[in-house]
Structure 1
Amino acid sequence: MKRRTRTIIGIAFLGIALLCSFHFLPKESELYLKSDISELRNSILPISIIFSIVFAYLIAFHKTEYNGRKWSKAIYIGYIGIMSYLIFGITSDLLTTIVLKVNRISKTEKLNKNFVMSTFTVTSNGELTESGPWVIKSADKYEVRGRVSDKSYDNDVDGIFMDKNDYTKIEQKKEFGITLQKGLFGIPYEPIIKK
């Protein structure tokens, strides 16, 4: 592959991957529980690594540049390894975005779960100054932090995004029911407050 073609492909990939990382993935993540996205990332980790290596190889490798002594070949292979390491993060984001989008193509079943809200506490000089439900407010969204009652966690919490009307329904509760849709790959998405 010519250097010009490799450069064009690399720039196009970088543009698409950065768009996924900073625009599409955050929007898609609002429809899923954080713990499910973490499990997905762990399950596609080997694919992300292989994809990063293959892409770095396609962009960086050229047969005429690889000819030479053992040291120059080793340096060239090291260069491909470093390139694959550097693009791994955006490659992982790209694959995660694709899987999350494809998962929502079909609904296989509904799941009903209980969501337990987490609380935050603020202390000053060892004294409790403030305590309440862990809610992050932005312009027109509320992110309610907590845990699904029958799920195991590793010191992490999930967040459910909702509008002001939904938040007022659960504001005084410590636990409430949610309904999730199970997608094409079995990943639950779109948590909705149970009525």
Structure 2
Amino acid sequence: MTQAAHDPGGKVRLRLPDGVLGGARFSDCGRYRQALIRDWTPEGAAPRTVLFIGMNPSVADAAASDPTCHRELMFARDWEFTRYLKGNVLDWRATSPRDIPHDPEVACSGDNVPALVEMAQESELVVLAYGKLHQRFAGVVRDALMAVEATGRPLKCLGLNKDGSAKHPLYLRKDTPLRDFPMPA
């Protein structure tokens, strides 16, 4: 689908690694991205799929990556997955969290949680990596986490912030181990 003229603000666009095919699903208006797909499954092999759930999408699309998605793809490859899916607790496209709309109902479209559930069902496990969000988004985060948890897929993270949120992966060491994600009470 062709994107509308929504500028998420980021300028760093990275080339996909050789042999990696990309895909993405955007809203008609281009302000929201519900899904990002990267696949490097060898021909004739069954894919091994992992879903990362971040804070909100930036500039990555079917043809290019952004620093966070590129880092997550490297984690996925190191863990011997052959397919990477990316969703977010908020699907509004903005590189800087300060550019996310203050209204949770604007920052997260009605198509987002169903897309997260669909991707979780395709995945062996889900890696939560959404970082610290403003408290006004707590209900949206809770709803997304509960819906994904209901799929029965293991929920993992790369560590926890002091507030119990899943650490953002961009600046973590490449050998950071996965750990179980404790669902908030």
TM-score, with length taken from structure 2: 0.25
TM-score, with length taken from structure 1: 0.24
Q: Which has the higher contact order (CA 8 A, sep 6+)?
A: 1
State the structure with more CA Rg: 1
